[in-house]
């Protein structure tokens, strides 16, 4: 009996030591448990710094970005509107000052350009840098909102089909959106469902008010029509399962048509790619090379070597990036 008690005591002591070692390891390396928080803090730091620096000074610029607030909500970026405007203004000011300072120095030092001309080029470059920075910050949430819209509409057949199965099984609308928000492989509509669940559980809204709020925020007209149909079915006490089943059939038919249209557009895009990014640059390189041999390869102030460098390192990569953006904006996810 004494030996059994001793063995049990030793086993419990070993378990206690193992737990203490695990706790000390977690304390010494806390990063393993908080990767998401660190990533979020890394994304929020520029916004917080910009808001602290420019927060009170951006009130006069708010009317210029009045359309951006709705776009930020539709994009799903979870960024405060005033903080984003502060970051936009601060970034444009920094880029303008950097180009206005660095470009004249580089032109005077490496091109022996007169100081007046260098300052003029610096002023023009600063204006372009300010314009491109503002346009880039303005288009960033627009691109995300459009991408979220395309994802919602591409996955609408699967979303409505999943909801129709749950509705026909007698699941309540609250539970349907809760299940949609907690899928192991989330859909694009899962983010909208999470907002609905948050408004119900955290802010105490009823299902109809939460759905109306989601309907006003979503960037997709088709998904908004589905939400409003669900609201009408709840209001009137209609058959929600039958409505979602009909929506699934309609969305699947539209999906087949959109895939056929995409296949036609893809053949056109492939011909454009061959003409602009394969045949076109090759012909330009041959023309500039032949003209340089004949003694007339320059174009105004640009020599033939500079033209070839601009074509190789600037024009072709920019056109390729633009083509990739167009291809990504037209291609369906499923």
User: Per-residue pLDDT tens for 238-258?
Assistant: 899 999 999 999 999 988 888
Q: How many domains does the chain have?
A: 3
Q: How far is CA 48 from CA 60, 144, 271, in A?
A: 19, 21, 46
Does 6 fall in a domain?
A: no
**Could you say which of 105, 131, 149 is where a domain stops?**
149
115-119, 297-301, 307-311: least confidently modelled range = 297-301
Q: Are 159 and 243 in the same domain?
A: yes
Q: Are 129 and 175 in the same domain?
A: no
Residue ranges making up the domain that contains 318:
257-330
Q: Are 169 and 247 in the same domain?
A: yes
pLDDT in tens, 3-37: 444 454 445 445 433 433 443 333 334 333 333 33
Please compute Rg for the chain using Cα positions: 29
- DSSP states of 33-78 as a string? G-HHHHHHHHHHHHHHHHHHHHGGG-GGGGGGGTTHHHHHHHHT--
Report field, pTM of the whole predicted structure over 0.85:
no
**Could you say which of 125, 149, 173 is where a domain stops?**
149
Q: Are 237 and 261 in the same domain?
A: no
Q: Are 52 and 96 in the same domain?
A: yes
Does 9 fall in a domain?
A: no
Does 309 fall in a domain?
A: yes
Q: Are 278 and 249 in the same domain?
A: no
Average pLDDT estimate for 101-121: 84
Q: Are 49 and 119 in the same domain?
A: yes
pLDDT in tens, 184-239: 888 889 999 999 999 999 999 999 999 999 999 899 999 999 999 999 999 888 89
Q: Are 119 and 207 in the same domain?
A: no
Quote the tokens at residue 39.
């990533």
Q: Are 178 and 134 in the same domain?
A: no
User: CA angle 163-165-170, nearest 5°?
Assistant: 95
Does 216 fall in a domain?
A: yes
């Amino acid at each position: 009996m004494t030996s059994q008690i001793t063995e049990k005591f030793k086993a419990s002591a070993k378990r206690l030591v193992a737990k203490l070692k695990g706790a000390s390891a977690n304390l010494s390396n806390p990063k393993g448990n908080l990767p998401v928080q660190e990533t979020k803090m890394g994304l929020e730091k520029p916004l917080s710094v910009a808001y602290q620096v420019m927060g009170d000074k951006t009130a006069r610029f708010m009317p210029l970005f009045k359309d951006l607030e709705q776009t930020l909500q539709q994009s799903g970026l979870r960024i405060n509107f005033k903080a984003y405007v502060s970051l936009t203004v601060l970034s444009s000011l920094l880029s303008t000052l950097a180009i206005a300072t660095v470009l004249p120095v580089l032109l005077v030092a490496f091109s022996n350009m007169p100081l007046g001309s260098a300052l003029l080029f610096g002023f023009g470059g600063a204006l372009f840098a300010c314009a491109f920075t503002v346009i880039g910050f303005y288009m960033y949430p627009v691109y995300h909102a459009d991408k979220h819209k395309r994802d919602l509409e591409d996955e609408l057949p699967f979303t409505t089909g999943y909801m129709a199965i749950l509705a026909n099984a007698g699941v309540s609308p609250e539970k349907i959106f809760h299940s949609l928000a907690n899928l192991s492989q989330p859909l694009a509509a899962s983010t909208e469902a999470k907002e609905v669940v948050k408004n119900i559980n955290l802010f105490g809204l009823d299902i109809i008010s939460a759905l109306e709020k989601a309907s006003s925020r979503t960037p997709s007209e088709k998904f908004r029509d589905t939400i409003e149909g669900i609201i009408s079915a709840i209001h009137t006490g209609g058959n929600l399962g039958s409505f979602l089943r009909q929506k699934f059939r309609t969305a699947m038919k539209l999906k087949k048509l959109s895939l056929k249209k995409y296949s036609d557009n893809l053949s056109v895009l492939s011909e454009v790619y061959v003409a602009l990014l394969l045949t076109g640059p090759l012909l330009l390189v041959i023309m500039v090379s032949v003209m340089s041999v004949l003694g007339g390869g320059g174009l105004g102030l640009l020599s033939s070597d500079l033209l070839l460098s601009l074509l190789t390192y600037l024009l072709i990569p920019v056109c390729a990036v633009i083509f990739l953006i167009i291809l990504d904006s037209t291609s369906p996810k499923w």
